[in-house]
A and B are shown apart, each in its own frame.
Chain A
């Protein structure tokens, strides 16, 4: 009866979602169930801004809506055509374009950042909103969750990065910068965080390393290390920790990927101009074991690199600027999201923008399929740690949560 692929929402937003489905899809059936949420959901959910009625019942609507995953006919005849109907869960909690998505380590929570100042946490299985983190006064660009899902760090255009208590939604500490904070990343062990800031009046873009105290009472705002990008006018869009926190990998508008020594701040390696990206790097996503990482760029490609040697391993070419990338932890798949620049989007045909999350075979570099649905460029992508679902966030303000059908796991190319 209850299928995790169903559409779930809080009663508060029910009327709204109902109408949305009416106008958008071909709704052929509608059943309403009252179910108790599972145990695990309740533990975290109880305290945060939650209407009391939801604690006892979750309402789901099942509908046959032919939206979702499409798998292309492959080039050679040996390839099979897979038509699957993966029902996405539409999560409309943000009022402005999405900027970043991240699952926690267990994969039960999904954190979303948007330009509307309020990072939000959702149940990753049914898309129910668990709560929001209020306190920022600018667009939130990025977030990271500690390994034990207790701490959340967010970087915002209000020139701060904030530490939050995931469970209570309480603000623990604010790092103040003189410029917007663009990206945040916890180190292995969660004792350090790397935060990048944009250039701003009087300051150039930089990478800051902060020590994260065990007890928020002891937290200080001083940087352990500050790295300056060679061209201070170009944004550093993402910086993450390398293996064993020994290095920091950064990529940004100057199209170069740099590896820095996390101790001394020395620049160790820089990507080769010949093989590297030609335009701004928009996103960077690393493998679970920190061995390799994937970068997406406006030059319409995504590239896979070895994290220790900065060797280019693979290149995935698409037709639109890439805003977001993700790697499946389960299968050899990478996902590229993007689309025509929001300012260039025409009104003629929604297909013109190519707002599609494209799946590629990691090894063969061939396109496997695509997931349509967004009606604005895709800005954020994330795979759940078990690789059985993924979510995408768009300029259109929606998060779309997709649980894969069984055929997805049997794709052969």
Chain B
């Protein structure tokens, strides 16, 4: 409103300005005088988020100090370097100049579009040599405060008082010598004692949402690792499971332990935003006990995988394979045409370089020694034969190699004590239309590593499964055609034939597609999983006899306990029905069965290797009767106690039931009259007492015709 208008209005209303006391006017409180604006923009602007951090800025130090004339040239050089590493924001490069001398100060700030780019640029360019005297020192801007506060003088770290740790292996001292197992079902993760004497599991620890994907025992059973958004954690301890250490690695997907459980490898991969790019992979190696990250590896998925013969893309887990033995000294990574072997003292490549092996597709460590076996397929359409070789680490000396002709694929199987290596070789037939299989058997521990070729009796048989006897010299093969293949057992040394492989037996037409040796050897389960609905045959290989056959309908998984006394069969939630697990004795007697809906995982807690020497073990086996007496007596006591408990429980249940029945009967009696009234006086309930029912049968035989029905129906 114009002042004129206001005056006009005032005149119209008969208001004399001079008489108005402006101070007496009271306005309602608040900026809007209590009147809400209906303009939504008033309320909803200023809501946009400000990124207050400077995470996308890096500071580049050790630049040359140049005068004004050269300023633009230097700026151009720096821009050129960093434009390769990321997108610099507009006006994102700022090189401060000394106002007095007009010289640059030898550092600059660069702002990138994203913190990731800044991080990447920092990592890539730190240590970049511009020339001899100018080596870049690059830091994140956000880190500067921290770096500034570092004291000039070094202070010796304070030694923290020693806190005695828990006995992490207390579970091994269980006086009933039971084994533990972990199961996951629904949201719960539970650890149980397998109490076969009581015929039920005894709970140890239960926790809902313990892990966000799966759990895994460390190879010697000390730790249980769980996966979370923020990283991995290991649990263990004397009595209950407490968290021992955390390993920060956001969105960790997979974990793997070194065989001596000194190191934990964590894996994370990120799907690329652009589907044409390879996904990003980040792998970290932690020291399990200190939780310190020893090394991390980053890169695109291509660097961690090879286009295998099957053409399977993506990294195959574990990416890093650990050399055998408890020392955890070496680990190897296979990538295109190279094998990178690292050693854990410095976490760097042995001899600072990888091994170049053209077209290598598979590597496999011996479980006990630092020997690597590798397989190179045929090249140039058969001109260059396929090759299987054994390489000694760290010397990288080839111990043995064998050329193989017209090979389509190879699979390597090490025997658990590293004495033998079996290579299953699939060869093309002459027409190249089909393949047949044979084995190359390496005797590692013998002089010059002799190789023996084994062909099946019927060499056209397909090989369905292969398994070495743990610690033994025998192996089992399922071969032949589905649905009823044969199972054969071979031995690398028999009494007659020490240096030659010989067949022990062939079992004809078995419903089996998987082999599960007991960890102590001697016993094996021939299992028909999936298509065979869970057929189980418990077989004694020493006596070559079947101990029992059973069925765990729909079974998907079989796992022996670490002692070879019990075996668990499970139906995991790949099926909707029958989820749960069954515990069997080694000879096929069902001990108990637990049903759990949404059953995901079952894993026995591994045990470290026994301290007994082989001689001592043999002696115990010889005098087993003497040793077992004590345990038999204990078993007897337990079973007596059990049946006693059972009897008492039943008695209590019966008594409780009787009480109910008595109560019901008396009430029923009380209500008798009322009921009679409801039934219009009919005498009701127990008329059977009043009228005795007699069954009278009238049988009049009218005619009998007997016809003989042919039996061969």
Chain A interface (Cβ < 8 Å from any Cβ of B): 1-2, 22, 27-36, 38-39, 56-57, 75-76, 78, 147, 187-189, 191, 243-245, 287, 289-292, 306, 308, 313, 319-320, 332, 340, 344, 348-349, 351-352, 354, 362-365
Q: List 18 A-B contacts (CB under 8 A).
A: A2-B699, A22-B713, A27-B713, A34-B705, A35-B701, A56-B702, A57-B702, A78-B643, A243-B671, A245-B678, A289-B665, A291-B667, A292-B660, A319-B595, A349-B553, A352-B554, A352-B578, A365-B653
Residue of A nearest to B677 (CB): A189
Whether B680 contacts A34 by the Cβ 8 Å rule is no
Whether A188 contacts B675 by the Cβ 8 Å rule is yes
Whether B702 contacts A344 by the Cβ 8 Å rule is no
Given contact pairs A292-B660, A351-B553, A34 touches B704 in the complex (Cβ within 8 A): yes
Chain B interface (Cβ < 8 Å from any Cβ of A): 199, 533, 553-554, 576-578, 595, 643, 646, 650, 653-654, 657, 660, 664-665, 667-668, 671, 674-675, 678-680, 685, 696-707, 709, 711, 713
Whether B657 contacts A363 by the Cβ 8 Å rule is yes
Chain A hits for B576, CB < 8 A: 344
Whether A30 contacts B699 by the Cβ 8 Å rule is no
Chain B hits for A362, CB < 8 A: 657
Bound-state Cα–Cα, A76 to B642, Å: 10
Residue of A nearest to B595 (CB): A319
8 closest cross-chain pairs (CB), A and B: A291-B664, A189-B678, A30-B709, A363-B657, A189-B679, A188-B678, A36-B700, A289-B668
Whether B664 contacts A289 by the Cβ 8 Å rule is yes
Chain B hits for A147, CB < 8 A: 679
Whether A76 contacts B646 by the Cβ 8 Å rule is yes
8 Å CB contact of B660 from A306, A320, A348:
A306
Q: Beyond the given A290-B668, A352-B554, could you list 16 further A-B residue pairs with CB under 8 A, ordered by the A residue number?
A: A1-B699, A22-B713, A27-B713, A30-B707, A30-B709, A34-B703, A35-B700, A189-B680, A243-B667, A245-B678, A287-B664, A291-B667, A313-B660, A319-B577, A349-B553, A362-B657
Chain A hits for B700, CB < 8 A: 35-36
Whether A38 contacts B671 by the Cβ 8 Å rule is no
Whether B664 contacts A32 by the Cβ 8 Å rule is no
Bound-state Cα–Cα, A177 to B698, Å: 47
Bound-state Cα–Cα, A257 to B665, Å: 24
Chain B hits for A308, CB < 8 A: 667
Whether A76 contacts B678 by the Cβ 8 Å rule is no
Residue of B nearest to A289 (CB): B668
Chain A interface mostly? loop
Whether A36 contacts B702 by the Cβ 8 Å rule is yes
Chain B hits for A1, CB < 8 A: 699
Whether A319 contacts B707 by the Cβ 8 Å rule is no
Given contact pairs A29-B709, A76-B646, A189-B679, A319 touches B199 in the complex (Cβ within 8 A): no
Bound-state Cα–Cα, A118 to B554, Å: 39
Chain B hits for A306, CB < 8 A: 660
Chain B hits for A2, CB < 8 A: 699
Bound-state Cα–Cα, A188 to B672, Å: 12
Bound-state Cα–Cα, A280 to B678, Å: 33
Whether B679 contacts A188 by the Cβ 8 Å rule is yes
Whether A39 contacts B698 by the Cβ 8 Å rule is yes
Residue of A nearest to B642 (CB): A76
Chain A hits for B595, CB < 8 A: 319
Whether A319 contacts B709 by the Cβ 8 Å rule is no
Give the distance to chain B from A107, nearest Cβ to Cβ, in Å.
10
Whether A354 contacts B702 by the Cβ 8 Å rule is no
Whether B707 contacts A354 by the Cβ 8 Å rule is no
Whether B667 contacts A349 by the Cβ 8 Å rule is no
Whether A363 contacts B678 by the Cβ 8 Å rule is no
Chain B hits for A340, CB < 8 A: 577
Chain A hits for B646, CB < 8 A: 76
Chain A hits for B711, CB < 8 A: 28
Bound-state Cα–Cα, A193 to B657, Å: 31
Chain A hits for B643, CB < 8 A: 76, 78
Give the distance to chain B from A330, nearest Cβ to Cβ, in Å.
13
Whether B668 contacts A364 by the Cβ 8 Å rule is no
Whether A36 contacts B698 by the Cβ 8 Å rule is yes
Whether B704 contacts A33 by the Cβ 8 Å rule is yes
Residue of A nearest to B554 (CB): A352
Bound-state Cα–Cα, A32 to B702, Å: 12
Bound-state Cα–Cα, A289 to B686, Å: 11
Chain B hits for A320, CB < 8 A: 577
8 Å CB contact of B699 from A29, A31, A35, A348:
A35
Give the distance to chain B from A224, nearest Cβ to Cβ, in Å.
15
Residue of A nearest to B580 (CB): A319
Chain B hits for A348, CB < 8 A: 533
Whether B678 contacts A244 by the Cβ 8 Å rule is yes
Residue of B nearest to A314 (CB): B657
Bound-state Cα–Cα, A381 to B50, Å: 69
Whether B705 contacts A32 by the Cβ 8 Å rule is yes
